[in-house]
Amino acid sequence: MAIKAKKKPDYVLMDKDTKAIVFGYQQNAVQRMLDFDYICRRKDPSVVAIVNPTRDGLHKCFWGTKEIQVPMYKTLEQATKKHPDADVMVNFASMRSAYPSTKEALESETIRTVAIIAEGVPEHRTKELIKIAKDRNKWIIGPATVGGIVAGGFKIGNTAGMLDNIIASKLYRPGSVAYVSKSGGLSNELNNIIANNTDGVYEGIAIGGDRYPGSTFLDHLLRYEKNPRIKMMVMLGEVGGTDEYDVIEAVKEGKIKKPLVAWCIGTCSKVFPADIQFGHAGARAGAEKETADAKNKALKGVGVIVPDTFDDFDKRIKETFDMLVRSGKHTPLPDVEPPKIPIDYAVALKEGIIRKPTQFVSTISDDRGEELRYCGIPISRIFEEGWGLGGVIGLLWFKKKLPKWATEFIEMVVLVTADHGPAVSGAHNAIVAARAGKDLVSSLASGLLTIGPRFGGAVQGSADHFTTYLYQGSDPAFMVKDMKDKNINIQGIGHRIKSVTNPDVRVEILKKYVKKNFPITETLDYALDVEKLTTAKRNNLILNVDGCIGVSFCDMLRSIGYSREEVREFVDLGILNALFVVGRSIGFIGHIIDQKRQKAGLYRHPWDDILYAMPDKPDEVKRDG
Amino acid sequence: MAQRGIREFDGKKMLARYWGEYISKDLSFPGRIVLVDPETKLDDLPNEYSWLKKEKLVVKPDQLFGKRGKHGLIAANVSFEEAKEWIAERMNKKTTIGGVTGTLTHFIIEPYIPHDKEFYIAIKSVREGDTIYFSNHGGVDIESVWDTVAEINVGVMEDIDKINIEDKLPKDTPNENKRVLADFIRGLFRFYRNLGYAYLEINPFVISGKDIVPLDLVARLDDTAVFEFGSKWGDIRFPAPFGRNISKEEAYIKKMDAKSGASLKLTILNPKGRIWTMVAGGGSSVIYADTIVDLGYSDELANYGEYSGNPSTDETYEYAKTVIDLMTRERDIKGRPKFLLIGGGIANFTDVAKTFKGIIMALREYKEKLKKVGVKIYVRRGGPNYREGLKNMKKLGEELGVPIEVYGPETHMTRIVNMALEGS
């Protein structure tokens, strides 16, 4: 694809036509760049692609009020190939990957300028990048910078902060003053000072606080010098390093002629003990020459406009600008009205300007605060006070602080339902799935999906059957007869081996516990009356463990304050199956782990265990039936 | 994070460890050296280092300051008993080096090497690569013999083995020394580059039989490169510069800073000073200190303080409390007012009202003390939600009965310094 855009002068790194690739999935930064573009009335968004090493596809963001999609690629190579018109890369890679990603960008054919945001890039790596950039006639801004801004044109990443700042500093349209500073944090203040005292910023670059910035004060000042739209320049240097002396030399040699107002911060270093490292890696005066005082003096010495203190910086800038205007060298540029950007939903909500109905309601837990809470109880308290599994089920299923007898009962049920050997169909299915090489969750699901009317469903079924007849006021005899008439087995009644004379010890324990502790035992009592009738018919038609759990659980619900209607509601939504799922998952997981640790191979059912009863041929389907 | 000095001990140990790999297989450097700190049991050392009792020794402090000879802090050609006594006399004693007073806590002991010729070498990182400085006249303040120093530039990614070092040695280098020295320079450079050094100076080193012995070594590593070279560096420490005895309050803030994602810095310059600062942002905090100094009030500047990187309300509260507590401990001797400058530039994304919340809590807590000491407060800040933050500060002034003046981005950043100090 040929690059059609007309060639920009060398001194322009970024302007209102610049297209950029953002390296790193920095959603806020991308949105801020697009918002800036929008208020500058750019024709097109400046971000044409995002490089996100972990995901490709499309990234959705706003262009004014409209939503647009920005393509996302896993590699820079793909991004540059698809977007050869992008000549700027805003690099949000970490200190570790800033080097390889910048190197790749500099070595590409299409990227000309790379802004490195990361702090802590090793100095020797930056030096390599500087060499590559120099050899290939390319530009680096940073590392350790917020970037820079071309007013009314292009904004690197998060430069200039929130939209309010940008509008207050009139950055949505070009002024005539260009600045270069080391500090990114202070660039906002410079935007403000320049907006308050001149016709505004034309361009501002923060070269970053490292010892070896990819491009220097001088590099940018020489660009500004060549750009006829820039009328005066501002430089904010600092203690440490000698880069400011290159500027002094250039002024002396007449390479810089435009008015330059400069100040180096860190004049206070002389009153500090030993060598305090200020914020920046490069900011430490090793020699007298590197002090801010020496630099300010030397700048002044060659005719640069230097205030006595930072406090006069604004006045010197204003005087210099006013002089340009008075001498007729410059006519202040007019202001324009920027388009409005709709306020972000999250911001508006926080400020209480808007409201919106919620889509759904949750009443059991909250993960948003300092600490996770179950029904209002912080998780730490649940541990400290030993609420246990039963207590947590009470909070999340019933939103109640259950009494000890209830939580203990729930835990007993979980223990008693945890497993019933490998032969039952649910465990068997879990085992077969595990042996087929399925992962733990899939194998567990295979087991759980078996739970239903015939397997494990008796807990649910018994609760259903017994409460139906009890709550409608039928006596046990009616229930037994009615069920028989309808030809339905009463769920929870009957055992293969156990009988009246050989009772199930699990049932005995549960029954005893419920009778002793529950204030209401109506369903259990009812079921036991039914059992009397059924065992009279046959010895093994006893209330089995599933039935005992089912009816007792309904009594527990009644005992903790639910009405019969509410108990039915719980039963109908399948709460007894839920209880069984919680318990039996423990057993299923046990079987799955067991099989996997044995490295058990694929299970194949033996032929001799199957009666093959295939017909010789299929039935013919006749046309006329 | 930046270039950080390491102990001479660590530099020499590293040199010995990698000598064969990078420097020379013919010449050796045994790297016999012992580090003594306040915990070291001197009497036990000869069990591990038998040479201590067999040879004459050199002892000196190892705390990142130079010119030790000038300050009488080298004992050469001494026995182990003498060395022990020498250290005991100085351990944990205060001493002043170049105007900085600090406590001596670390010493190194090495074998004493009799010699006559001393050489100088330094390698320094520069933007275009690295520069090697070499002279046949080491052991002295090198600035005084700078015309004997040869300068050899090695570009970024340039191979040292392709540079003709022999030709670039100073003219006064005897022919018979040229090869040995050139090989050593190349080797040392490989060591420097492959181990991520940013500065390495050996002044002097001597040639002693089959050994090259570095007598004095100063080195800095670029600590940002720890993820590339950390495994080669081993267990390296970056000691605090000599003379940085930090107060309880500074240590408290430092501890908070280390634990937090935000940045919190406090340096107390003069606890009796009347001007206290609590400024948001690294660059802005320097500018406030600058302006106070440039307006001629450096004697009154009590502290340098900075918070940035979106600290939590708790963190700003603790930070503000520490500063306010320090400044309200006693009245000015002459009864003059004290000033608290709560300054800052225009924040990018930090919620100004939120960070002020912690400061307001602290000010409220110190209401009586602030009034008793006579504190005047000046606030200047911009950025997200600044109007709300400034309004709250203003209200607080009325509530506490403490004078608080507030300004936003329409006022030049440092103007409050002027207003407070010059009353204009």
Cα–Cα dist A317/A325, whole Å:
13
Name every chain A residue with its beta carbon within 8 A of the beta carbon of B308. Answer: 185
Domain boundary among B111, B143, B174: B111
The string of DSSP codes covering A189-229 is: HHHHHHHHHSS-EEEEEE--SSSS-SS-HHHHHHHHHH-TT
Query: Is B224 in Cβ contact with A122 (below 8 Å)?
Result: yes
Query: What local confidence, expressed as pLDDT, does residue B30 receive?
Result: 85
pLDDT at A70 over 50: yes
Name every chain A residue with its beta carbon within 8 A of the beta carbon of B125. Answer: 123-124, 127
- Based on the fold, state whether residues B199 and B347 are members of the same structural domain: no
* Digit-coded pLDDT (tens) for A85-137: 999 999 999 999 999 999 999 999 999 999 999 999 999 999 999 999 999 99
Structural domain count, chain B = 3
Domain containing residue B155: CATH number? 3.30.470.20
- Closest to B106 in 3D by CA, of B90, B126, B128: B90
- Based on the fold, state whether residues B22 and B38 are members of the same structural domain: no
- Based on the fold, state whether residues B303 and B379 are members of the same structural domain: yes
In a domain, B243, yes or no: no
Do the Cβ atoms of B186 and B179 come closer than 8 Å? no
Instruction: Report angle CA B147, B151, B155 to the nearest 5 degrees.
Output: 165
Domain boundary among B71, B89, B111: B111
SS (H, E, C) B292-358: HHHCCCHHHECEEEEEECCCCHHHHHHHHHHHHHHHCCCCCCCCCCEEEEECECECCCCCHHHHHHH
CB atoms within 10 A of CB A549: 29
Cα–Cα dist B39/B106, whole Å:
10
Domain containing residue B81: CATH number? 3.30.1490.20
Query: What local confidence, expressed as pLDDT, does residue A491 receive?
Result: 93
CA distance B190 to chain A (A): 14
Cα–Cα dist A197/A320, whole Å:
10
In a domain, B55, yes or no: yes
- Based on the fold, state whether residues B224 and B336 are members of the same structural domain: no
Query: Is B298 in Cβ contact with A268 (below 8 Å)?
Result: yes
| Virtual torsion, Cα B291, B297, B301, B304, nearest 10 deg | 20
Cα–Cα dist B287/B60, whole Å:
40
In a domain, B184, yes or no: yes
Do the Cβ atoms of A266 and A240 come closer than 8 Å? yes
Do the Cβ atoms of A244 and A171 come closer than 8 Å? no
pLDDT band at A2 (very low <50, low <70, confident <90, very high): very low
Total number of residues shown for chain A: 625
In a domain, B212, yes or no: yes
Domain boundary among B64, B90, B111: B111
Q: Cα B201 to the chain's mean position, in Å? A: 17
Query: What local confidence, expressed as pLDDT, does residue A391 receive?
Result: 97
Cα–Cα dist A159/A19, whole Å:
17
Do the Cβ atoms of A544 and A507 come closer than 8 Å? yes
- Based on the fold, state whether residues B41 and B152 are members of the same structural domain: no
CB-nearest to A128 from B157, B301, B382 is B157
Residue range A149-178: average pLDDT?
A: 95
Cα–Cα dist A88/A448, whole Å:
55
In a domain, B373, yes or no: yes
What pTM was computed for the model?
A: 0.80
* Digit-coded pLDDT (tens) for A411-422: 999 999 999 999
Q: Which residues of chain B have pLDDT under 70?
A: 1, 244, 424
Percent of chain A beyond pLDDT 90? 86
With a CB cutoff of 8 Å and minimum separation 6, the contacts of A327 are: none
Domain containing B124 equals 3-29+115-233
Q: Specify the pairing of strand B57-61 against strand B75-78.
A: antiparallel
Helix, strand, coil shares of chain B, percent, nearest 5, are: 40, 25, 35
Q: How far is CA A215 from CA A185, A256, B211, B378, in A?
A: 18, 17, 44, 38
- Based on the fold, state whether residues B162 and B176 are members of the same structural domain: yes
CA distance A374 to chain B (A): 26
Residue of chain B whose Cα is closest to the Cα of A160: B348
- Based on the fold, state whether residues B190 and B126 are members of the same structural domain: yes
Q: Which residue has the tokens 């998060």?
A: A158
Query: What local confidence, expressed as pLDDT, does residue A129 receive?
Result: 98
- Based on the fold, state whether residues B217 and B91 are members of the same structural domain: no
- Closest to A542 in 3D by CA, of A583, A579, A506: A506
Domain containing residue B384: CATH number? 3.40.50.261
In a domain, B239, yes or no: no
Cα–Cα dist A301/A297, whole Å:
6
* Digit-coded pLDDT (tens) for A436-492: 999 999 999 999 999 988 888 899 999 999 999 999 999 999 999 999 999 999 999
pLDDT band at A282 (very low <50, low <70, confident <90, very high): low
Query: Is A131 in Cβ contact with B244 (below 8 Å)?
Result: no
Query: Is B382 in Cβ contact with A165 (below 8 Å)?
Result: yes
Q: Is the four-CA dihedral A492, A498, A504, A508 of positive or negative sign?
A: positive
* Digit-coded pLDDT (tens) for A560-599: 999 999 999 999 999 999 999 999 999 999 999 999 999 9
Judge if ipTM > 0.85.
yes
Query: Is A122 in Cβ contact with B228 (below 8 Å)?
Result: yes
Spell out the long-range contacts of B31-35 with Cβ–Cβ below 8 A and sequence spacing 24 or more.
B32/B110, B32/B111, B33/B9, B33/B108, B33/B109, B33/B110, B34/B108, B34/B109, B34/B110, B35/B7, B35/B9, B35/B62, B35/B106, B35/B107, B35/B108
- CB-based burial, A363-387: b 16+ in 10 Å, e otherwise: eeeeeeeeeebbbebeeeebeeeeb
With a CB cutoff of 8 Å and minimum separation 6, the contacts of A158 are: A28, A29, A32, A146, A147, B348, B349
Query: What local confidence, expressed as pLDDT, does residue B1 receive?
Result: 54
Cα–Cα dist A548/A510, whole Å:
7
Active site residues of A: 280
pLDDT at A625 over 70: no
Q: Which residue has the tokens 């990182």?
A: B125
CB atoms within 10 A of CB A604: 9
- Based on the fold, state whether residues B375 and B313 are members of the same structural domain: yes
With a CB cutoff of 8 Å and minimum separation 6, the contacts of A445 are: none
In a domain, B281, yes or no: yes
- Based on the fold, state whether residues B288 and B372 are members of the same structural domain: yes
DSSP count for chain A of H helices, then E strands: 23, 16
In a domain, B238, yes or no: no
* Digit-coded pLDDT (tens) for B145-181: 999 999 999 999 999 999 999 999 999 999 988 999 9
Instruction: Report angle CA A24, A29, A33 to the nearest 5 degrees.
Output: 120
CB-nearest to B415 from A267, A272, A311 is A311
SS3 B248: helix
- Based on the fold, state whether residues B362 and B400 are members of the same structural domain: yes
SS3 B407: strand
CB atoms within 10 A of CB B165: 22
- Based on the fold, state whether residues B121 and B103 are members of the same structural domain: no
CA distance B65 to chain A (A): 11
- Closest to A168 in 3D by CA, of A202, A205, A194, A186: A194
Name every chain B residue with its beta carbon within 8 A of the beta carbon of A185. Answer: 281-284, 308, 345, 348
CB-nearest to B282 from A188, A212, A279 is A279
